[in-house]
Structure 1
């Protein structure tokens, strides 16, 4: 196992370099004046342009710029915005609440989605199966901003159960409804994926063999059927954490959450390339580490999988 983990960590290095270079090139190598509109209606003074060009190595080729930036990252330096604010400070302020929001969304989609999928997958076709299929299709068809707006108005404005806007602290309790909104689409996919995987594996040879050997139905389902059926679900959930963090712009905007989503949106509007690059680089790290964790969980779920 240790050698496998080491090999996978080494494989992450070229993937990280390749993805972050593409991101860096897309942000900094696009045609256009990076200082357009930076100084209001007037053109920026030549002294300011020269200082910023030297600070961000804009005179160097893109590949040279990238490796200089990568060297800064290895020391924990994400650079500064054009206004001189440390990007690491912005990330430290915005990332905690987005991580909490993504975790809440992931837990909600995993618990509700897997339970709904198990109930329908084990019972087969019937009223409950049709109800879950219709409910998940409704969630898939409904845009996230519509779901968020409806819940905000009904639960916040009309009934007063929740606060329409999340406070600056962003406590776990305040993030339950925004987390449900953020994870609603993935929750529908998890339910359908669990249902399909269970119904497919119920007809597998190893399930028929376990039943023919006289094992208790609970053991057949819990030890054999569920563990093997959860592999595609775990894969989806593992990769979805990064997607939830990067795709929280709409949800954070509806509930006035000052997290990564709002920071990305503001950075794009103000053309803060360094901030956008730093945020996306962290998201890439989340994706890579979650993929490694998912690979390790395969051996726990399926005894046929061994890493030698």
Structure 2
């Protein structure tokens, strides 16, 4: 098991270098003046532009710029905004809120999606199966911002069950509805994926063998069927946590959540290259760590994987 984890860790290194280089190149290789409009209506003086170019190593070749940036990353320095604010301090303020929102969304989509998928996979065709298929198709077809606005208007403005916008430091309770909105699309995919996997494994040889041995239905389903059916679901849920953190821009905007999505959106609109690069680099790290966790869970669910 230790060698399996070590191999996966070593595989993350070239992936991290490659992805961060592509991100850095896409942000800083865009033609144009990155400091345009930073000095008001008048253009910035040459002295200011020269100082900023030197500060962010923009006079060096792109590969040299990236190597210097990578060196700072290894020391935990994500850079500064053009106004001199450390990006790490922005992350400290915004990231905990986004993490809470993403975890709430992941729990909701995992619990509801798995429950619906297991029930429909075991029961087969019927009213419940058709209801879940229609409901999940509806959620897949509906854009997230529409789901958010409907929940905000109906539950907030009309019924008064929730606040239309959350507070600056929201609690878990305030994030339940935004979390449901954020995870609604993934919840539909989890439900359909679990249903399909359960129906495939229900007729597997290992299930028939377990039944022939006289095992109880609960053990057959909980230990044999569900464990084998969870492998594709674990893959989706693990990678989806990174997607939920990166894709919360719309949900955070609808419910006025001051999270990481707002920082990314503001960085793009104001052309703050350092902010966008630093935050997206953190999201890359989240993706890589979640993929490592998924690989470890693979080995736990099916020991044959680590021997391969």
Which whole-Å CA distance do the structure 2 matches of 1:302 and 1:54 have between them? Answer: 53
2:4/2:306 contact within 8 Å kept: no
SS at match of 1:77: coil
Q: Which segment is superposed worse, 232-241 or 212-221?
A: 212-221
Task: State the shift of 1:4 in Å.
Answer: 1.6
Cα-to-partner distance string for 1:129-164 (whole Å, 9 max, x where unaligned):
000000000000111001000111111111111111
Matching residue of 1:32 = 32
Task: State the shift of 1:30 in Å.
Answer: 1.4
Structure 1: 5+ residue runs without aligned partners? Answer: none
Matching residue of 1:102 = 102
1:197 maps onto 2:197 in alignment: yes
Matching residue of 2:287 = 287
Which whole-Å CA distance do the structure 2 matches of 1:74 and 1:306 have between them? Answer: 30
Which whole-Å CA distance do the structure 2 matches of 1:176 and 1:90 have between them? Answer: 24
Which whole-Å CA distance do the structure 2 matches of 1:58 and 1:303 have between them? Answer: 49
Which whole-Å CA distance do the structure 1 matches of 2:304 and 2:260 have between them? Answer: 40
SS at match of 2:88: helix
2:102/2:244 contact within 8 Å kept: yes
Q: Which segment is superposed worse, 215-224 or 270-279?
A: 215-224
Cα-to-partner distance string for 1:223-248 (whole Å, 9 max, x where unaligned):
11000000000000000000000000
Matching residue of 1:87 = 87
2:239/2:290 contact within 8 Å kept: yes
Aligned-residue RMSD, C-alpha: 1.0
SS at match of 2:82: coil
SS at match of 2:77: coil
SS at match of 2:276: helix
SS at match of 1:174: helix
Cα-to-partner distance string for 1:79-115 (whole Å, 9 max, x where unaligned):
1111111111111111000000000000000000000
The runs of 4+ residues in structure 1 deviating greater than 3 Å are 303-308
SS at match of 1:175: helix
- Count of residue correspondences: 308
Which whole-Å CA distance do the structure 1 matches of 2:244 and 2:286 have between them? Answer: 11
Could you say if the C-alpha distance between residues 11 and 305 of structure 1 is closer, same or farther in structure 2, counting changes exceeding 3 Å?
A: closer
Matching residue of 2:168 = 168
Which whole-Å CA distance do the structure 2 matches of 1:108 and 1:119 have between them? Answer: 17
Matching residue of 1:302 = 302
Which whole-Å CA distance do the structure 1 matches of 2:2 and 2:233 have between them? Answer: 25
SS at match of 2:174: coil
Task: State the shift of 1:307 in Å.
Answer: 4.4
SS at match of 1:12: helix
Task: State the shift of 1:32 in Å.
Answer: 1.3
Matching residue of 2:274 = 274
Task: State the shift of 1:209 in Å.
Answer: 1.6
- TM-score normalised over the length of structure 1: 0.98
